Structures are given as structure tokens and as C-alpha cells.
Amino acid sequence: MGDLVVDKHVQYILSVEKKKDSFESLVMEHLRMNGAYWGLTALDLMGKLGAVDRDMVVSWVLKCQHDCGGFGGNIGHDPHILYTLSAVQVLVLFDRIDVLDIDKVADYIARLQNEDGSFSGDKWGEIDTRFSYNAICCIALLHRLDKINIEKAVSFILRCKNLDGGFGCTPGGESHAGQVFCCVGALAITGSLNLIDKDFLGWWLCERQVKSGGLNGRPEKLPDVCYSWWVLSSLIMINRVQWIDRDKLKTFILECQDKENGGISDRPDDAVDVSLCV
Amino acid sequence: MHGRPRKPLKAEDDAKSIAKASKLRSLQNQFLNYHRNQIFSREALEVSAELVKINPEIYTAWNYRKIAVDKFLEAVSDPVLIKNIVDEELRVVENALKQNYKSYGAWHHRKWVLGKGFSSLDRELWLLDKFLEADSRNFHGWNHRRFVAALKNIKDEEEIKFSEEKINNDFSNYSAWHNHSRLLAQLVKRDSHGNFPNECGLSEESEKLLKSEYYLAHNALFCDPEDQAGWFNYLGLLDLTVAPKAPLLTASWPSHGSNLTLSSIVQPGFCTSNGCKTSISRERVFPLILYFNQAVEGVNNSTVTVSSTCIEKRHLNWRPLSTDGLGKSKSWITYMSVPDVANPLELCQFDVSVGDSQGIISLNGYHYGLPTKFEFKLNPSSSEYSRREVNHDMVVWKDECFTKFDSLILDLNLPLTTSSHQRIGVHNRVHATEWQLDTLKSGIDLFRCLLSITDCKIGRLTLARLLTSYNIMVDGFPCTSKGSQWEEVLDLFSSLLKMDPTHAHYYKDQHSMVLIEQVTSDRDTLLKHCWHHEKQTSIGSLSNVWLRLNNLSLSRIGSFERLLWVQMLDLSHNELRSIEGMESMQLLTCLNLSHNQFGSFTSLEPLKLINSLRVLDISHNEIGGHSIDTTRYTCSSPLTHAPGVTWDSKAFVGDQEVRSDNWELILIFKNMPLTQLDIAGNPGNYEKCRTILIKALPNLKWLDGVSVE
């Protein structure tokens, strides 16, 4: 164990941006907007947001916007709710939300809500509680929650709740920690957390901690650092975070650092990934 | 990169990787060009097919192919040609899934194609079978199976069978268990909805289904007690068995059969209507509180009727005890006027009837079960009322101020017990059926047996849960002798604490909830915690009963339905972080929460709803000592966006004193009718906030033991 090697991580995140031609970067080119949000948030948390050119990022973000109001994951890619949220988050991070036509973006989100309260990711109609979270979070950041039907949105999320207390992608889908985060997050933003049994969900969540101290995303799966975020923040939102062992988790995360080159991986000694640095 | 080992690249890998990258780069550029210009030539489509094969997550390419398919389908009518187009698309998806079987984009594309209705669903199921054989936990695969089953109108019973086969192949297949139990719950729910063959809402058919499910669940748990698949499945099953379906009234204040004197209930300064407002009314009113077994909506003048021998029927303003604005709560309150009667010795009888007409509905959509009636009497002697005024003496919580209650004197109207089993005036906590009790009993025997063979965490935890459910059920069951086994449950949780220290706080919380349940379960145990305060007689009254649950190592508290009558409560020297649910204690006047582990002001939110609260001690906690506020998200504030809650954030922020480091303090305390507050000894050093607090609390007389004047 040891400390968080902050400087190495900052170098790593900045270098990801420069290595655009590797296969790994190319495969993820279409979700660069997500990557930007993850990387910039991590830099911000480490107090190093000043290391990037703010104006350059903002003008790139705007180039990803479409006439409908939504954003694509990169220039030339189709608009989708996933990247619209990240774009708004990046602009909020830089305190440059003023560059947007806010109602246009909010209307794009509102149009994606379906009759049953669910949200589609884009006009092609994939439905998932991830998109419910994206929509609610994004439209809350834009201060336009009145544009969607919150009651219906909440009731759809509750329909995705399972007997084990967790949540799935759609009604009937298996519980998954990432999905739990989305649903709990959406309920938290809309002030609806009283509608779920927090003890029930809390037990499922705290049992994601395995012997090594790490957290997994579903029962009987391997631990992965990304679930530290999904599980931990869900437990915090329902005020049950003391149900896991904090010190053991800290040790596990620090062991996943690449101390020489910077970056954090899913498990000790696996390859690093920018999304995990958040 | 998830699941990929971290290692330095070798030279030949490097060359390979450069070649791979340049191919992908070229495909992506070509594709984006075709997409931009909306070119759908054979060559263009081949590029996109090749691209999604290497990079299935590239969502824009799937969108592009959807446009192309729609175009092609529009142009042909020959079924053979249509089939060719659709089959080609499915083949492209299969190739992509071979590269990444977790690709959301590829799975959705497949659904989209199948939704057109030109494909063989039998072949799809056959393919899925192969797929789930290779990766039995893939949730995309299972989602897809559910999609195809719905498309093909396959009966739930058949899908249950399918999942059961998967379970029998591998007991630790959580995904199969999930599908199995969700379908089962669906059948049970369908069966019991709006139709209650017996009091817990299960038909014989459902009971039979659950019985066979228990058989399977026990097998799994006994085979491998370490496997989590069995754990959660069993808990879900237990929940299906014991969780109340229809909402029921479990407690009220005043309680059934109680005889109240005015002096024991009227607090000067109850707010009367519309929740907590700054103006405090001195009207002669008393609260009427209903407590349900689950959160409900629809409590109003048509679902609840209150009639009295001495006052006319009036419109009552019922409101849920919660701040979230969702209109749903376990506890509901209204205020009744104290009648003016000519003869001060005359008793007023009140009859309350709940659920006569439909409208009280649970979160799950169940309607109120059996109509319930209860009654109480009130002596509205006005002479006593006029004597009462707010006491300005400081309340001191020192041990030497308290003396044990003489139980002989306590032969008052204290609603200490809730057992009354007539259909009318029923305050049962749960209506248990023979089947439920038998199921719990045989479960208890089985898990005792398991523990005698092999000591395991889940065995202990499940036994503790079964015993808890059983104890609660027999408590409200008329024909069973009361065999409280709380001690055993407490021992089980204590042993789990040592056995599984990682989740120590979970067991600690459960232990606390059971302890409170035990303490409040009958009159004799509760009496041990009732004290008399020597110096205080006039603040609050209810015969001056001080409930002292201090020094019990409690980390949580519950069982509020048995504490509705409490006016003075000492919870000091525990390990509390939360008082979730305390808003039901609407008579609470004095509360001591000192020497606990409260980490933030937002954790005190329930107190905002208690208008009778005058004396509060939150000294020596951890408020202001944590960087993360874990109750921020459950607390209604200008940061939440509940539809029913409007925050005048301008008025809120307009307060000059509100700063980023003390806005939560203002949020909780502003206009609370406290006369005494102790806040010293918290890491946030709120001594500096003295002027802010005095301004926020207009009635405050004592702050940290010093007179405000």
C-alpha cells in the first residue's frame, strides 16, 4: 500500500489526450466526450484543472452539438443522451454553461421521454435506466426539470426494482451496481429516495465488498475499481456507507495504481484506464 | 482496460498494434465520410460491417445501418429479399458480438431488427441457448431472452421452467435465480392483486408455488452456504412470504381504548394547519396520528372518518409526515379541536374508522385491507388547560435528576401495549396466517440444523431474520403463546459482528433495531426504561414519563409505532447517526441526542416535522467533522428537485447570515419552536454561530446552558 501518486496520475491523464493514434484510443474515439468528462473531473479533484486549455475544450464540445440540441461522443458522431450529459457536465465544470442554448438542449432531453416515463438514449429507441439518470441529471444541471414528467420517470425507475433490492436496465433486468447508481442517483436528484427500502438495497450493496476489500458489481463476480464509485456513491446517497469496510477498500484501490506510469486499473496489476481515475 | 494485464509491449506486438490501429483509423474515416454524405452503396455498407466487427461499440455505425435497412426494406416487397436483408443484419450483429459480447449497441441493433417481425424467433432462442451456455451470467443475453420471450408470447410458467433448468445446472447462477424469482413474484402478485383470499393476500395456489421455491432455495443454500446467489434469493423469498401486501393500520395516537385528560396531551403551541409555519397557534388542539405498516397515500376525509359525541363532524386536514412532498408516508397526522363542553366532567368519545371507502393505497398499489375502527375518550377539562404554560426552567439531563418510575403509579392511560385482537379496534401489527407461521417455523428448524453441521455467516443471518419475522408475527397473532426469542436474535447479530467484521456496522444496525423492538415489545420491559424527572413537572407532561434509552450502544432506532406517546426521550450516549422515522413521534417535547455519532445537521431532518419539540440536546456529536454529508441526499433542501416541494431559494439565500459553511444549520433550525438547544462539543465549533442560532430560533431561551437574554 502507500499513498495516491497524484503527480503520476495527472501526467497519465494528460498523456491519454496525446496518444490519439493507438488502437486503444481509436476504439474509444466515439466516446471521447465521456473520456473528457472523466479525465477533467479527475484533474479537478486533484486540483489540476488549470493544466488544460479551457477554451479549446469548450469549442471542441460545441463542435459535437447537433441541430436537434443533443451532443455526439465526438465530431461527426450522432447525438445521444450519454454524450449530451457529459458535454453539459464538462461545460459546468468549466463554468461555461452560458455558451449553450439551454432550452434547446433541455428540449432534446425532454423529447426522449416515453409515455411510460422511461427515456430513450436517442431517436433509435434503446431504453435503459442509465438514460433515466442521464436525462434527470442533465436536465437538473440545466435547471429545467419542469420540462419532463418527474412522477412518471420515478415510477418507471421503481418498476425496474428487483426482489434483491437492486435495479436493472429495464423492468425484469438483473440488478447491477452501475444500474443501482443510476437509479439511486435519479431518485436522489428528484427527492424520491423515501420510495425505496434502503436497508434492503443497502445489504445487497454492502455485500459487493469481497475479501480483498474491493467491490464487485454483481454477486459472485470479481472486484473492479470502477465499482468503488458505483457502489460507494450509492451507499452514500442512501446513508448506509458505514456498512462496508473503508480501510480495506482504500488499500485495494491504492494497490490498483500503476505507480511508475500513473493511472489506475480495475484490479491490481491490470492495465490502466482513464475512466477509473475518477 | 478492464481485465487486461498491465505489461510492457514487445517490439513485434508494437508493429502488430500499429497495423491494427491504422486499419481501424482508415475504416473509421471512411465510415464517417459515408455517414456524413449518407451514402449507402454496397461498398459503404461493407465498410460499416467491417467497422462494427472490429469495434462493436461504435454506436453511430449501428445508427447508419438502421437507416440503410429501413431504406432497403422500403424498396422491396418480395419476402425472400426482405429475409435476405434482415438475415444479413443479424449476421453482422453476430460477428460484432463475437468481438464484444457486452456491446450495448450490438444487442440493441439485434432487438431492433427482430422487432421488424421478419425473423425466426425459434432460431433466435436456439442461438441464445448456445450463448447462455457459453456465458451464463451475461445480463445482455438474459435481457435479450426476456425480450424474445415477450415477443413470442411465451408463458411465464415456461420461462420459470427454463430458469430452473439453468439453476439446476449451476446453483450459483445468480442471473438464472433472478429470472426465476422475478417471474414467480409476478405470478404471486398477479394472483393476489386486489383479491385477498386470506389475510396476507396469498391464495393456496401461490402458497404452493412458494413452497416449491423454498425447497429449491434450501437446496442451494445447503449445498454451498458461501454462494451469494442463494442468499439474495432466499431473502427475496422471505420477503414475498412475510411482507405485508395490503396496507393496515398498526398503531395510532390516541390509541384504541385510551382515556385522555386534556393536560396530558395539549401542548401550548401546536401548529394547526398546513404544516410547520412560523406563527404558533395557541388554539386548543390535539393531534391524531395514524401509523401504517407501510407508506401509503390517500388518507383523507373520505377514507378516514372521525366522529365524536361532543363535536360536530368537521373537515379534517390530513397530511403525511414527510418532507419529500411525494404525499406518501407511514404516518399521517391531523389536528382536532378540543371541544368546549358545558359540563367539565363529561367525557367525549371519539370513534375513528379507517379504510371504509377505498383510496388508501400502498406504494406497490395494494388497497387498504380490512376496514379498522378504534375509539378513545377525552376529558376536556378546561381548568387544567389554563394552568399550563411554557416552562422557562432549563431542562437538565443529569442522572441524579431521574428516579425510577413506580410502576404502581403508572396505571395511567399509557398505550404501552398494542395487543388487542378484536376485529374492531384492532391494532395488530401483522395478520399472520398458519401458512406463514409454519413456513417460518420450518425455516427456523432447518437453519438451526444447518448451523449445527456447519457454522456459516448466512446461516446465522438467515436464522436471525427468520426469528425476527416470527417474533413480530406471533406478537400480533391471537392464538399463539408469546414465545419471544429476542435474546437469541441479539446473540446471533453479536456473533456476526465478530465473524464478519467487514460488515460490522450492518450487523450493529440490525442489532440495534432488534434491541429497540425488544425493549418496546411489552409493558414490563419498557417500564424499566421509564423514569421520573424530579425538577420537571410542567414541561410536557404525560404524567412526567421520561423514556431513557441512553447507554445502550444503539446505532439505529426504530419501532416508532410503539413510541408515538413519548414526550421526553433520552437517547444520549449511543452510537446513533440517523433518526430516520422519528418524525412519527409527534408528541416529542424534550429530546436528548448528545454523545452520539451524528455527522451533519441534515441527519436531524425528521425533527423539522415535530412541532411540539422544545428542548433539544445535540452536543458532543460529530457534526461538521466529516467531509461527506451522507444524509444530504435524503434531506429535502433547495438542492433536491422533488415535484411537490418548492423552495423559495431566494428567500432562503436572502438571509445574510447564510454562508456555505452554515446553510445546513439554518435549513434545519430556521423557525423551529425550540426553547432550549445544546450544540457544544461538535467538531464544527458552532459556538460562533450563536447570533445566527438565536435569530433562527425565535423562542430560544437557553443555548448551551446559558440564558439567551
Q: Is A269 on the interface with B (CB under 8 A)?
A: yes
More confident residue, A27 or A185: A185
Are B633 and A78 an interchain contact pair (Cβ–Cβ within 8 Å)? Answer: no
- pLDDT tens sequence across A2-41: 677 888 888 888 887 777 778 888 888 899 999 999 999 9
Spatial distance between the Cα atoms of B556 and B511, rounded to a whole number of angstroms:
9
- The percentage of residues in chain B with a pLDDT greater than 70, rounded to a whole number, is 81
Spatial distance between the Cα atoms of B207 and B555, rounded to a whole number of angstroms:
37
Spatial distance between the Cα atoms of B377 and B350, rounded to a whole number of angstroms:
6
Assess whether B278 and B394 both reside in one domain: yes
CA-based end-to-end distance of chain A: 19
Q: Which of B182, B228, B641 sits opposite A172 (nearest CB)?
A: B182
Q: Is B324 on the interface with A (CB under 8 A)?
A: yes
- Omega cis (within 30) before A79: no
B391 occurs within a structural domain: yes
Assess whether B324 and B457 both reside in one domain: no
- pLDDT tens sequence across B452-473: 999 999 999 999 999 998 888 8
Asked if residues B413 and B260 have their Cβ atoms less than 8 Å apart, the reply is yes
Assess whether B549 and B684 both reside in one domain: yes
Q: Is B2 on the interface with A (CB under 8 A)?
A: yes
B22 occurs within a structural domain: no
- The percentage of residues in chain B with a pLDDT greater than 90, rounded to a whole number, is 43
| CATH number of the structural domain spanning residue B275 | 2.60.40
Asked if residues A84 and A70 have their Cβ atoms less than 8 Å apart, the reply is yes
Spatial distance between the Cα atoms of B121 and B283, rounded to a whole number of angstroms:
71
- pLDDT tens sequence across B39-69: 999 999 999 999 999 999 999 999 999 999 9
Q: What pLDDT does B648 receive?
A: 60
Asked if residues A80 and A73 have their Cβ atoms less than 8 Å apart, the reply is yes
Assess whether B472 and B527 both reside in one domain: no
Q: What pLDDT does B458 receive?
A: 93
Chain B: residue nearest A215 by CA? B502
Q: What pLDDT does B401 receive?
A: 84
Assess whether B620 and B687 both reside in one domain: yes
**Interface predicted TM-score of the whole assembly (ipTM), two decimals:** 0.93
**What is the CB neighbour count within 10 angstroms for residue A64?**
22
Asked if residues B426 and B433 have their Cβ atoms less than 8 Å apart, the reply is no
Q: Which of B63, B326, B506 sits opposite A124 (nearest CB)?
A: B63
- pLDDT tens sequence across B278-330: 223 345 778 899 999 899 999 999 999 998 887 777 788 999 998 777 888 99
Q: Is B189 on the interface with A (CB under 8 A)?
A: no
**Binning pLDDT at 50, 70 and 90, where does residue B480 land?**
very low
Average pLDDT over residues B494-502: 94
* Burial letters A3-16, b for 16+ CB under 10 A, else e: eebeebbbbbbeeb
CA distance A131 to chain B (A): 13
Assess whether B356 and B440 both reside in one domain: no
Are B6 and A202 an interchain contact pair (Cβ–Cβ within 8 Å)? Answer: no
Assess whether B595 and B679 both reside in one domain: yes
Q: What pLDDT does B23 receive?
A: 92
User: For residue B610, is it left (φ>0), alpha (ψ between -120 and 50) or beta?
Assistant: beta
The candidate with the shortest Cα–Cα distance to A46, out of A262, A266, A231, A228, is A262
Q: Is B284 on the interface with A (CB under 8 A)?
A: no
pLDDT higher than 50, residue B383: no
**Binning pLDDT at 50, 70 and 90, where does residue B658 land?**
low
B25 occurs within a structural domain: no
Distance of CA A112 to the CA centre of its chain: 19
Q: What pLDDT does B427 receive?
A: 42
- pLDDT tens sequence across A57-103: 999 999 999 999 999 999 999 999 999 999 999 999 999 999 999 99
Spatial distance between the Cα atoms of B303 and B512, rounded to a whole number of angstroms:
35
Q: Which of A77, A140, A243 sits opposite B60 (nearest CB)?
A: A77
Spatial distance between the Cα atoms of A249 and B462, rounded to a whole number of angstroms:
26
| CATH number of the structural domain spanning residue B591 | 3.80.10.10
B269 occurs within a structural domain: yes
Q: Is A195 on the interface with B (CB under 8 A)?
A: yes
Instruction: Give the residue extent of every domain in chain A.
Output: 101-190
B465 occurs within a structural domain: yes
Are B640 and A188 an interchain contact pair (Cβ–Cβ within 8 Å)? Answer: yes
* Burial letters B247-265, b for 16+ CB under 10 A, else e: bbbbbbbbbbebebbbbbb
Q: Is B250 on the interface with A (CB under 8 A)?
A: no
Q: Is A259 on the interface with B (CB under 8 A)?
A: no
Of B385, B404, B423, the one marking the end of a domain is: B404
Q: Is B28 on the interface with A (CB under 8 A)?
A: yes
- pLDDT tens sequence across B619-634: 999 998 887 888 888 8
Amino acid at B501: P
Count of pairs with CB atoms under 8 A, one residue in A, one in B: 211
- pLDDT tens sequence across A232-273: 999 999 999 999 998 888 888 888 887 777 777 766 555 444
Amino acid at B463: L
For B570-627, the three-class secondary structure string (H helix, E strand, C coil) is ECCCCCCCCCCCHHHCCCCCEEECCCCCCCCHHHHHHHHHCCCCCEEECCCCCCCCCC
Q: What pLDDT does B411 receive?
A: 42
Counted domains in chain B: 3
> Which residues span the domain enclosing B383?
249-404
Spatial distance between the Cα atoms of A271 and A248, rounded to a whole number of angstroms:
22
Q: What pLDDT does B65 receive?
A: 96
Question: Beta strand B590-592 with B568-570: parallel, antiparallel or unpaired?
Answer: parallel
B694 occurs within a structural domain: yes
Q: What pLDDT does A226 receive?
A: 80
Q: What pLDDT does B428 receive?
A: 44
B287 occurs within a structural domain: yes
Assess whether B468 and B392 both reside in one domain: no
Are A27 and B17 an interchain contact pair (Cβ–Cβ within 8 Å)? Answer: no
Q: Is B103 on the interface with A (CB under 8 A)?
A: no
- pLDDT tens sequence across B173-193: 999 999 999 999 888 877 765
B486 occurs within a structural domain: yes
DSSP B337: E
Average pLDDT over residues B112-137: 91
Average pLDDT over residues A193-219: 92
Of B404, B419, B444, the one marking the end of a domain is: B404
When the pLDDT of each residue in chain B is averaged and rounded to a whole number, the result is: 82
**Binning pLDDT at 50, 70 and 90, where does residue B537 land?**
low
pLDDT higher than 60, residue A177: yes
Assess whether B319 and B444 both reside in one domain: no
Q: Which of A30, A226, A239 sits opposite B578 (nearest CB)?
A: A239
CA distance A58 to chain B (A): 22
Give the best residue of B60, B136, B294, B364 to mutate against chain A (max A CB count within 10 A). Answer: B60
Chain A: residue nearest B142 by CA? A173
Asked if residues A115 and A77 have their Cβ atoms less than 8 Å apart, the reply is no
C-alpha cell, A126: 434503446
Handedness of CA B241, B247, B253, B258 (dihedral sign): negative
Of B480, B507, B534, the one marking the end of a domain is: B507
Q: What pLDDT does A112 receive?
A: 98
Mean pLDDT check: name the lowest of A194-198, B398-402, B427-431: B427-431
Chain B residues in contact with A76 by the CB 8 A cut-off are 32, 35-36, 60
Are A191 and B505 an interchain contact pair (Cβ–Cβ within 8 Å)? Answer: no
Give the best residue of A163, A226, A243 to mutate against chain B (max B CB count within 10 A). Answer: A163
Q: What pLDDT does B392 receive?
A: 61
Q: What pLDDT does B664 receive?
A: 84
Are A239 and B295 an interchain contact pair (Cβ–Cβ within 8 Å)? Answer: no
Q: Is A131 on the interface with B (CB under 8 A)?
A: no
Task: Give me the residues of A, 32-71, that contact B with CB < 8 A.
Answer: none
Assess whether B585 and B473 both reside in one domain: no
Amino acid at A273: D
Chain A residues in contact with B142 by the CB 8 A cut-off are 173-174
* DSSP track, B182-195: HHHHHHHHHHHTT-
Alpha-carbon distance values, A199 to A108, A132, A164, B174 (Å): 36, 23, 11, 21
Q: Is B239 on the interface with A (CB under 8 A)?
A: yes
Average pLDDT over residues B676-696: 86
Spatial distance between the Cα atoms of B8 and A261, rounded to a whole number of angstroms:
11
3-class DSSP state for residue A278?
coil
Are B324 and A194 an interchain contact pair (Cβ–Cβ within 8 Å)? Answer: yes
Assess whether B438 and B336 both reside in one domain: no
Assess whether B627 and B677 both reside in one domain: yes
* Burial letters B580-597, b for 16+ CB under 10 A, else e: bbbbbbbbbbbbbbbbbb
